Structure 1
Amino acid sequence: MQFGSRRKIVGRIHITPMDSLSDLQKRCYRERLESEVATLTYVRLFCSDILTPVVWAWNGSAENAVGSPYVQLDYVEGETLEDVWHNCSGPTEKTTILQEVAKHHAALAKAVLPFRGFGALRFTSVVGEERPLNDTDFRLGPFLSEGRHFQVTKSRQLVSPPPTAALSLSDLWRDLLVEERRSHLICWGAVPETSVVLPKDDTDSSVNVDIAWNDIQTASKLVERLISATRVPPWLCSPCFSISDYAFRNIIYDPACKRLSGYIDWEGVSILPLFMMARGTISRGHRGFAWVPPDGQTCSQESGRSPESCSGDSLYRATFREALYRSDNRFDMSFWEKALALLKIHYLFLHGLNAWFPRTEWLQRIVAEAEQKP
């Protein structure tokens, strides 16, 4: 929509019919939309270095004139970075873009947050227009994962998220582990003899995986040992805003001004540990870990990409990291050495059983190594 003042507003509605969703799914969608609006509102009020659109109206239920959950917010002028990147004239222009993106990526990490723990922002109560908002109008709620709390698979049922935010990284990981156990317990009924084939499309494996309930118990105990054995430096657990989808299509850039206009996908933005900032741009997935780019490795045949493309990505990752360090000196070499290892562990907890089984040997090895450290 465009008004006489030339202000443009876009609306987003939930396209899945709400009647087809369970009460738990409706609740999770409502809470996730509230979190998105609360995050956008908080950032706009208290984090001026982070570019966000203004939210004009929203409703998390289907009980409105639209008949669906919706949000209305400012239109962000510019082009998607995906299009701009594809049309770049060469490395110099791409370097300029990455320096600009790194500046805004660092702003997400630098935001001073008054909340303790990790999770998703929520409003403390119904927010009206009667008075200016302050930071006490916001609270930290439980972490909400799109895949975990919204999508049903053949082996996993939806479970309620924790009632509160996680106060520490180990608490967050334990919450995710408990949810994973509960979701499979609901599905299988904890019958040890039950065997289920997980389709390769539901896992990080190239083949179907045949597992039983005893396998789940064994794997979850191994992962629980990993929580107890993993030592994380406190500075890497500093809370910051973490975007869940860094795809270039979600970053808007103004090629004329050579400035980033903003991020347009704030669904799923959470407050998570600083090491999650290692998950960012120029990190295309591969068959190891989708979040961790294969620096220094050749492309596998399965990737379908040329060696030149992979080496180019490695070069631009280095450029991005250098620019990030200039904006925030916490992002030095030691950050990347430690953060990428922690990123792999967090990936396992977030994706659960379907990510554990293809990596059983690797998981056993890193648990043993972690338990041997003083």
Structure 2
Amino acid sequence: MSTANTSNNTDSAIGAPVSATLPTLSRQDRDDSRPQQYPSPSSPHATSATSPPIPTPSPRNGRAGYQLSLPIPRLQRSEWVNLEGLVECALSSLGKDECTGISELGRGSHNSLYEIRFSDGTSCAASISNSPRQFFSADAKRSEIATMQYIHSSKLYKIPIPKIYSWDLTFDNKVGAPYILRECVKGKNLSEDGRFYRLNARDKQKVVKELAHVQAELSKPSEFTQLGYIYRQEGENGQFYVGKMATVPSGSDEEDKMRESFMGPYDSLTELWEARIERETLCAIGNWSQLPSDASLPSMLPPAKANPQQFGELQQLLSGLTNLFTPPEQLSKLCIHHSDLAIRNVLFDEKTLKITGVIDWEFASVMPLVITGRFPNDLGWEGNEFARSLGKFGNVSDGGVWNHHYYDWTSLSGVQPPPRADMPSPPASPTHSPASIDYLTTPNATANGYLFEHQASVLEDFDNSEGRAPSPPSPPLPPPPTSETSQQDLTSRATNLVELYYYRKFYASKLAARNFNLTRLFIDAVAYIKFNEIVLGGPEKWFASADWIKEVYWRMQEEDESAREDLMEGKGVVKVPEVFLAVRRREVDLGKWENKVMSMR
């Protein structure tokens, strides 16, 4: 992942840059060992990175670490990271003679990003992992590198991607942490401080159109035949292939070994879903076999909604539904899925609003087209939370707030302050424990919290928050409305959400204009994206979505058997309403008297 937080136009930066002017460091001052590498920048024009002029100091003798000991401490870094070593590795790997400066471009939970400038006028971006050794996934980084290399070298895709120069994914190098050296991309991150939302309507259209171009390119049928992550065989000319999906280590060797057997690659969505359900069964056996009571099952939801009996029932219902959610052939075609395609992960030319670079390819995967039918969450913003707060989800719970589907605000109908706190109100959005997070559904989650980069100014609010959508939009979501929220504020917020509805439809229309086969993608994919999010979300998401799961099952049961057979053969499309306003089947619980007696004891 890439982070950004300075004011120059290189790699999406905001705020005041933290910069260190370095004594000239020559190649004779450092080790010449080189990790994996590819051709380095050769001229200022090849890797243009607009930065303030840096005076070149006179050369000094001595070791690089000593020379850089004074300016380097100004730059933030993890305690085990050696930035003097980073400069040495950059000079060695890229074959540069002198380093004249280093600037911090940004810092997030997972990575810190720096720009290193050289005496020949070129520069490179250096991404250093902030994760401690026990939570670092080398497979995830290898896949990120391979995906960027694959798209950069492929003639099929016309997407500007930074070129990878060199990397070392061990903790035993001179930096003291895994790092990647790549091209510095000239461009601006329009997510900073909510800049996108302040553009005029025509400029917003231009940005949305550019984003749609990227998704249309990625939606082209892939040469790969399995679901999983892209890797590359060793060597500069190594072949690309699809392998297992990577996750952040849990910290437990036993649990990680168990996970490994369920990470693919997979031949179909059904196989992926079944593997996840099997994995959750093993987790339940290992973690819940000695619960002191049914009510002690670890969950943020009350025992009435989260208990072993509910888990067993939902496990069976989901297993029965997996085959019915077999997408039709057109939606089953495999393509590359950028797991977090959003404005924060794209750099734009400030004048033309053309895309100059797409970053943050960590957890990208090869998936069926139907799973990619998701709008950038910048175009959804607070729509789901706002709808939940105002009771728009009706009487039947649909899992609270979806991470990858947005409530369509099309008018100001029903926009009024919610009930007072002492009156019944919609349930709060469920939260998720890190152990229940799946990295396809929630690509920016880790075993020790969510990862939010590119918005250093809001990291304090989001860094350790659980249960939020992956990578929040900018600006951060406002507080949910209460009975004290003014009608003027509610109307203003709802008006913005209605505008975003039309930008989402415009986004979908631009994909349709690029490729006829994508015309109905965002219409037909909704049910599959919701089902995928539930299955891969683990037990906590299952419990939170219990009403939705049961209602879908009962309504499927009401369909003719021939209709269900067609769905299993991929001859139809599953459609679900935005909100289930009523249940198809009523259950009468004859055990309520026992529950009442037990509660009185």
**TM-score over 0.5 for the pair:** yes
1:121 aligns with 2:230: yes
5 Å-filtered alignment, 1:3-152, equals: 3-18=118-133, 21=134, 25-26=135-136, 29-46=137-154, 47-83=156-192, 84-88=195-199, 90-110=200-220, 112-124=221-233, 126-127=234-235, 129=236, 132-133=237-238, 137-144=239-246, 146=247, 149-150=248-249
Aligned to 1:265: 360
Paired with 2:125 and 2:278, the residues of 1 have a C-alpha distance of 38
Paired with 1:142 and 1:284, the residues of 2 have a C-alpha distance of 32
SS at match of 2:525: helix
Paired with 1:244 and 1:280, the residues of 2 have a C-alpha distance of 11
Given that residues 190 and 213 in structure 1 are in contact (C-alpha distance below 8 angstroms), is that contact kept between their aligned partners in structure 2? no
Instruction: Choose from 347, 362, 371 the match for 2:548.
Output: 362
SS at match of 1:79: coil
- Listed one character per residue, the Cα deviations across residues 290-330 of structure 1 (whole Å, up to 9, x for unaligned) are 21011146679674472112111101111111112111222
Query: 1:60–1:345: structure 2 CA closer, same or farther, 3 Å change rule?
Result: same
Amino acid at match of 2:196: W
Given that residues 192 and 214 in structure 1 are in contact (C-alpha distance below 8 angstroms), is that contact kept between their aligned partners in structure 2? no
- Listed one character per residue, the Cα deviations across residues 234-281 of structure 1 (whole Å, up to 9, x for unaligned) are 111111111122332111111213211122111111111111222132
SS at match of 1:173: helix
Amino acid at match of 2:380: S
Paired with 2:545 and 2:269, the residues of 1 have a C-alpha distance of 22
Query: 1:7–1:241: structure 2 CA closer, same or farther, 3 Å change rule?
Result: farther
Aligned to 2:268: 168
Paired with 1:38 and 1:31, the residues of 2 have a C-alpha distance of 10
Paired with 2:503 and 2:283, the residues of 1 have a C-alpha distance of 40
Given that residues 193 and 213 in structure 1 are in contact (C-alpha distance below 8 angstroms), is that contact kept between their aligned partners in structure 2? no
SS at match of 2:501: helix
Given that residues 119 and 166 in structure 1 are in contact (C-alpha distance below 8 angstroms), is that contact kept between their aligned partners in structure 2? yes
SS at match of 1:367: helix
5 Å-filtered alignment, 1:335-354, equals: 335-354=521-540
Given that residues 299 and 540 in structure 2 are in contact (C-alpha distance below 8 angstroms), is that contact kept between their aligned partners in structure 1? no
How far is the alpha carbon of 1:369 from its aligned partner? 2.8
Any gaps of 5 or more consecutive residues in structure 2?
1-115, 385-399, 419-478, 482-489, 565-601
Instruction: Choose from 268, 283, 306 the match for 2:380.
Output: 283
SS at match of 1:160: helix
- Listed one character per residue, the Cα deviations across residues 132-174 of structure 1 (whole Å, up to 9, x for unaligned) are 45xxx11111223x5xx5468xxxx654233640011111111
- Higher relative contact order, chain-length normalized (CA < 8 Å, sep 6+): 1
5 Å-filtered alignment, 1:96-245, equals: 96-110=206-220, 112-124=221-233, 126-127=234-235, 129=236, 132-133=237-238, 137-144=239-246, 146=247, 149-150=248-249, 159-161=258-260, 162=262, 164-189=264-289, 193-196=293-296, 198-200=298-300, 211-245=306-340
Query: 1:142–1:190: structure 2 CA closer, same or farther, 3 Å change rule?
Result: farther
- Listed one character per residue, the Cα deviations across residues 179-228 of structure 1 (whole Å, up to 9, x for unaligned) are 2222333322376944435454xxxx6x7876333332222111111112
Query: 1:283–1:275: structure 2 CA closer, same or farther, 3 Å change rule?
Result: farther
User: What percent identity do the matched residue pairs reach?
Assistant: 20
TM-score (norm 1): 0.83
1:325 aligns with 2:512: yes
SS at match of 2:150: helix
Paired with 1:366 and 1:45, the residues of 2 have a C-alpha distance of 43
Paired with 1:65 and 1:165, the residues of 2 have a C-alpha distance of 34
Paired with 1:58 and 1:256, the residues of 2 have a C-alpha distance of 33
Given that residues 41 and 54 in structure 1 are in contact (C-alpha distance below 8 angstroms), is that contact kept between their aligned partners in structure 2? yes
Any gaps of 5 or more consecutive residues in structure 1?
none
How far is the alpha carbon of 1:48 from its aligned partner? 4.0
Higher helix share: 1
Paired with 1:5 and 1:272, the residues of 2 have a C-alpha distance of 42
Query: 1:226–1:192: structure 2 CA closer, same or farther, 3 Å change rule?
Result: farther
Number of equivalences: 346
Query: 1:8–1:186: structure 2 CA closer, same or farther, 3 Å change rule?
Result: farther
Given that residues 37 and 55 in structure 1 are in contact (C-alpha distance below 8 angstroms), is that contact kept between their aligned partners in structure 2? yes
Amino acid at match of 1:33: K
TM-score (norm 2): 0.53
Amino acid at match of 1:178: E
For structure 1, which segment, 281-290 or 48-57, has the greater mean C-alpha deviation from structure 2 after superposition? 281-290
